[in-house]
Amino acid sequence: MPNGPLHVKGNLEVISGTGRTVARMTEAWLCRCGQSGNKPFCDGTHKKVGFRSDQ
């Protein structure tokens, strides 16, 4: 999404840096602004902080 999260569809497994499975799902909105209170998932904070992407 322009100036927003990364939308991913398909079989998805989110794994932490230590190898622990965080979540398994078939669709997710992943934070790109780095300000989400629910990382790695988007919580809409990009709108509040005025996140702008180059793409």
Radius of gyration (C-alpha) of the chain in whole angstroms: 12
Tell me the pLDDT tens digit for each residue of 1-30.
899 999 999 999 999 999 999 999 999 999
pLDDT of residue 54: 79
Note the pLDDT of residue 55. Answer: 58
Global pTM value: 0.84
Q: Cα dihedral sign for 38, 42, 44, 50?
A: positive
Instruction: Read off φ and ψ for residue 48, nearest 5 degrees.
Output: -70, -35
